Structure 1
Amino acid sequence: MSPQFYNENANKLAEQYLSKSFEQVHKSWSQFLPAIINNSHARILDLGAGSGRDAKHFAELAVKEHGVENCIQVFAVEPANILADIGARQTTGLNVKWLTDSLPALSTITKQEVSFDLILLSAVWMHIPASDRARSIRKLANLLKPGGNLVISLRHGHTDEERITRKMHTVCADELKQLANNVGLFTKLETQKEDDKLGRNHVSWQTVVLQMPDDGTGAFPFIRHVAINDGKSATHKLALLRVLLRIADGHPGSVLRRESSRDGDRVILPIGLVALYWCHQYKDLIDKHNLHQTPNKNSNMGFMKPNGWHKLTKLQASDYRIGNIFTGDTAVALYKTISAAVSNIKTMPCRFITQPNSDKTVFEVASKTVKAKDSIFLDLQTLEQWGEFSLPESTWLAFNRYACWIEPVLVSEWVKTMASYSGNSQYKSPENQYHLYQVLKWEEPKRTTTEVRKRFDELKLQQSLKHNQQEQIRCVWSAKPLKQKYDIDHSMPFARWPNNDLWNLLPTDRKINNQKSDKLPTEKKLKQAKERIQQWWQVAWLEPEDNIQKRFFAEANIALPGLSSDNSSVDDLFEALVMQRGRLKEMQQLREW
């Protein structure tokens, strides 16, 4: 597509598009729409949204079905910014989020780490060159929920001038269906060619509706193959899969970028983060419980070096977390430990995990040498120093969306593998393996609000000394002034998503907090509290001139989707919080408050 043409002719094109209603243009597939709109938490992507006609129709149907404050999200993507401005005006007051993006990369949308019940490409496919179509379909399939529909209208016929000025290409339904079949989509509807609604004799239209039956990527069979069938001379492979699963589940903001490759799009992570989680995972298994991770009699593993791992015996698994600072000899040893873990990951599991019936490796590491220093602050930017880790986007999304089903398989296989080693012979019989299951429980953060309570009390004391009633701290949910009976609430419920990050802990009225309990705030309630939440962040963590501000953003930028590692905007942070709320609602079906 040429954004230049569409920007230069935006007003004329908008008038043309808006002259026909949604029903006139999309009658051939609209029978699938009621079931989608009936889902009060559906998510819809209008890709190539133009002047906003279709996005507006979706949003208005949502209001009609569920009321003004409905939770259906409509994302409208349009690469031509002037045309998008017209569309945004068309949808003013409706729950439509406008973004600038385009196929085949869709980098802005994929960075949101969300999936869709419906994706519509109306008059878009003919702008995709044949060389980009396989990648585009892979990208679209990765954005679909299981059972989600991808609707693509095909324009047949264009003049030579249109081919040049509007960057149009010949399309074919059979080609589209084959590409879809290659990524696990099946054809739900293929219409006959229909006359152009604008009366152009040289143009006809055809609609193809594709559906995602499961995750459709082949990621599940691959993960199962590695976890259950693949040969294991140590627990390295299982450890790597579990590390990636934990990062995908808890730190969607850790994605540095996405890249295209001949075999499909790939997700790029900081290898330093993978190594940090590697150390977190092995720490207690080895140092605390003395469990062998290889068949060898020697319990030492490749990443356990005298000048690194063995100098950190006083640390706990929970110390390997984002936002922590280490100095002196501990910092130097931690640098060396992470470097040794990066090397071990690169030469062991990444080298030996291959595609089934192939010698092609699945995971790739581009590592860098990092000089040890006497101070280390664990954030994304620090962990980027060691280089990059690359994995297939389909595998990342499977971990991201289905962690609660995949992790028990990995843990079960890890128990069986450890029990088979001679160094762990006391656990050989199944009845003795309960202990192994217990020690493999991921070291989650313990629910705590102590640090935030201390900060709240400090601020209250400062206010009382100033006799300043205007700056009273208020309950973020109800706006009530907070006095003695207050609580610190996990905005995203800790029981469902264990997270003690500073951004997630908010001052609330005790009665209100009891009402909320472990429920998820609705999007409406979260947005209504935006000003008070940002005010608390500002006074509690962003005004002090010390490391707490760095820690605040370090925690948020890795835990929440769509943020850059150097983000320092509370507005962007809040947008990411709203997005994470939607992800938790979708993935865990949490009760709302």
Structure 2
Amino acid sequence: MATEFYNQNASNLAQQYLSKSFEEVHESWADFLPSIISNPNARILDLGAGAGRDAKYLSSLAQDTHQANNNIQVLAVEPALELSKIGQQSTHDLNVKWLSDTLPALDSVTKLEVSFDLILLSAVWMHIAPSDRARAIRKLANILKPGGKIVISLRHGQTEEDFTKRKMYVVCADELKKLASNVGLFCKLETPKEIDKLGRNHVSWQTVVLQMPDDGTGAFPFIRHVAINDGKSATHKLALLRVLLRIADGHPGAVIRREPSIFGDRVILPVGLVALYWCHQYKDLIDQHKLFQTPNNKPNMGFMKDDGWHKLTHRTASDYRIGNLFTGDDAIALYKTISASVQNIKTMPCKYITLPNSNKAVFEVDNKTVRAKDSIFLDLPTLEQWGEFSLPESTWLAFNRYACWIEPVLISEWVKTMATYKGNAKFRDPDSHLHLYRALNWLEPKRTTIEVRNRFEELKSMHDIPCVWSAKKLTKNYDIDHSLPFARWPNNDLWNLLPTDSIINNQKSDKLPTELRLLSAKSRITEWWKDAWLNAGEASHHRFFAEANIALPGLDSHNGSIDDLFEALVTQRGRLREMQQLQEW
């Protein structure tokens, strides 16, 4: 898109755009809007938001419809900075968030790891080069909710100036519908060409409304095929799927980047993180429960080396987590264990998990040699040393959004598979499978708040500390609360543990705080973070951000901003509300 033209002419263009109302411009598809706005938790994306006319209307309509119960957020995306400034001024008192981003990559939006009920592209599609349109429509489909709609207005009648200065291209409704069909979208509405509302005789407009009937990606059938139908000479395939699911569900910040390919966009993760979680889930299965993971009765697997895995038998699965520090011989052994695991993942499950009726690998590893050192702090930059792991964006999003439904299938198949192995013969009877299910518990870090309680007591001896939710001074009757409920999203990171009044905590229980309640508590939450962890020394500061930057969406691995962290917490709250339909408090 020619942002230079739009920045240089922002004032005149804004005046032009704002001369016509939302109702005048979007009359052709307005009948679809009430059902979208009726959902108080809907999420709307306005791509190419310009001077904010549409974003302002949609957010105001949501506010008028739901009043105090309004949770609808409008995300306005505008790459032209000067236009965006005008839009931000006009929507400053509304629930509109502004971002700078462009199709087809849409990097900033996808990094948020959220999906939308409505995506509006008003006077945008003609700026997408024909060579980028297939990828653009795939990207839009990937961030659309099941049943969600994409509204695209098509401008016909470009002048030579439009082609050169404004970087427009010829558009065609049939081309758009074909591209949409390829990614599982169907056409809900195609209007005839209509006259230009600004009176330009050479310009006409069409509106196309596309809808998502289901997840539209083909990811579910693929995951089910690998989990249930694929041959399993060992548990490697199930292990890799579960690792990726756990990362997608618990660590949306782990994505290094997204990149295009001829088979669809791909998500790039640190392969060191995949290997760390590989070790995490195999650790107690093998060392503690002595369960065989291959058909023969040999306990060793390819990644279990004498100078690595077997030197860490005194460690537990919960040691293999973000924010932990290994030193001395343990650090050297862990380096070697991760390296061996990366190689095993590359040569086993990644090699043999292929697209249906093809020898094309679904998952790819581009690994690097890493020299063992006597200290290793487990954070994203450290785990990026081993190279990259690549998977289809559609598979990542299926894991990300539907983990709570997919994981039981993977665990069930893992139990059935282990029960058939010679070394696990005593568990062949279905009545003994309960032990296998228990052994496959992910073993999240123990739900302990002792460390945080100790820090609270230390600080309380120096000054008063308020309940983050009620602002009441805390004395003896206090609890350490998981801001995002542990029972629904098991996370025991420092940022998620907050001091609160015991009565208030009992009222909150396992409910999800509303966005309004979270925003109202921002100053108390951020003050606690600073007081308890960021001012407690370099190690504590480092661990705090290492945990947050990988667990919360939209954060850079080097983020050190409290405000950005809090904004990511609000986004994650919305994701959990959407994906699990949690009761709010």
Shift of 1:433: 2.1
Matched-pair contact (CA < 8 Å) for 1:153–1:206: yes
What amino acid is the match of 2:393? E
1:304 paired residue number: 304
Matched-pair contact (CA < 8 Å) for 2:40–2:69: no
| Pick aligned residue for 2:518 from 499, 509, 526 | 526
1:566 paired residue number: 558
2:36 paired residue number: 36
CA separation in 1, counterparts of 2:403 and 2:460? 41
1:556 paired residue number: 548
| Pick aligned residue for 1:539 from 509, 531, 545 | 531
1:126 paired residue number: 126
1:102 paired residue number: 102
What is the 5 A alignment of 1:2-81?
2-67=2-67, 70-81=70-81
2:567 paired residue number: 575
Partner deviation per Cα, 1:107-149 (whole Å, 9 max, x = no partner): 0000001000000000000000100000000000001011110
Moved more, 437-446 or 392-401: 437-446
In structure 2, the residue corresponding to 1:296 is in which secondary structure? coil
What is the 5 A alignment of 1:329-348?
329-348=329-348
Moved more, 419-428 or 3-12: 419-428
What amino acid is the match of 1:526? L
1:180 paired residue number: 180
Shift of 1:431: 2.8
What is the 5 A alignment of 1:188-199?
188-199=188-199
2:225 paired residue number: 225
What amino acid is the match of 1:489? D
Shift of 1:429: 3.1
Partner deviation per Cα, 1:331-390 (whole Å, 9 max, x = no partner): 111111111000100111111111000011111111111111111111111111111101
Shift of 1:297: 2.4
Shift of 1:484: 2.1
| Pick aligned residue for 1:510 from 493, 502, 506 | 502
In structure 2, the residue corresponding to 1:537 is in which secondary structure? helix
Shift of 1:509: 1.7
2:375 counterpart of 1:375 = yes
Identity %: 75
Runs of at least 5 residues in structure 2 that lack an aligned partner in the other structure: none
* Count of residue pairs brought into register by the alignment: 585
What amino acid is the match of 2:531? V
Shift of 1:459: 0.7
What amino acid is the match of 2:390? S
2:263 counterpart of 1:263 = yes
Shift of 1:475: 1.2
CA separation in 1, counterparts of 2:445 and 2:533? 20
TM value normalised by structure 1: 0.97
1:156 paired residue number: 156
In structure 1, the residue corresponding to 2:462 is in which secondary structure? helix
Shift of 1:69: 6.1
Matched-pair contact (CA < 8 Å) for 1:365–1:390: yes
What amino acid is the match of 1:39? N
In structure 1, the residue corresponding to 2:512 is in which secondary structure? coil
CA separation in 2, counterparts of 1:230 and 1:419? 17
2:453 paired residue number: 453
Matched-pair contact (CA < 8 Å) for 1:253–1:560: yes
What amino acid is the match of 2:230? D
CA RMSD of aligned residues (A): 1.0
Partner deviation per Cα, 1:423-443 (whole Å, 9 max, x = no partner): 112222333322212211221
Matched-pair contact (CA < 8 Å) for 1:327–1:376: yes
Matched-pair contact (CA < 8 Å) for 2:256–2:268: yes
What amino acid is the match of 2:20? K
2:358 paired residue number: 358
Matched-pair contact (CA < 8 Å) for 1:69–1:524: no
2:206 counterpart of 1:214 = no
In structure 2, the residue corresponding to 1:67 is in which secondary structure? helix
Shift of 1:510: 1.8
| Pick aligned residue for 2:577 from 570, 581, 585 | 585
What amino acid is the match of 1:134? A
Shift of 1:480: 1.6
What amino acid is the match of 2:105? A
Shift of 1:305: 0.3
CA separation in 2, counterparts of 1:543 and 1:434? 46
In structure 2, the residue corresponding to 1:29 is in which secondary structure? helix
Shift of 1:500: 1.2
Matched-pair contact (CA < 8 Å) for 1:147–1:211: yes
CA separation in 2, counterparts of 1:545 and 1:129? 51
CA separation in 1, counterparts of 2:271 and 2:300? 22
Shift of 1:194: 0.8
Matched-pair contact (CA < 8 Å) for 2:52–2:86: yes
Shift of 1:59: 0.4
CA separation in 2, counterparts of 1:587 and 1:446? 24
2:325 paired residue number: 325
In structure 2, the residue corresponding to 1:263 is in which secondary structure? coil
Moved more, 44-53 or 64-73: 64-73
Runs of at least 5 residues in structure 1 that lack an aligned partner in the other structure: 464-471
Partner deviation per Cα, 1:138-184 (whole Å, 9 max, x = no partner): 00000101111011111111111111111110111111011011111
1:468 paired residue number: none
CA separation in 2, counterparts of 1:354 and 1:281? 23
Shift of 1:68: 5.2
CA separation in 2, counterparts of 1:539 and 1:111? 29
2:492 paired residue number: 500
In structure 2, the residue corresponding to 1:557 is in which secondary structure? helix
TM value normalised by structure 2: 0.99
Moved more, 134-143 or 425-434: 425-434
Moved more, 521-530 or 428-437: 428-437
In structure 1, the residue corresponding to 2:46 is in which secondary structure? strand
Matched-pair contact (CA < 8 Å) for 2:468–2:521: yes
2:290 paired residue number: 290
Matched-pair contact (CA < 8 Å) for 2:126–2:169: yes
1:385 paired residue number: 385
What amino acid is the match of 1:80? A
In structure 2, the residue corresponding to 1:462 is in which secondary structure? coil
Matched-pair contact (CA < 8 Å) for 1:270–1:380: yes
In structure 1, the residue corresponding to 2:390 is in which secondary structure? strand
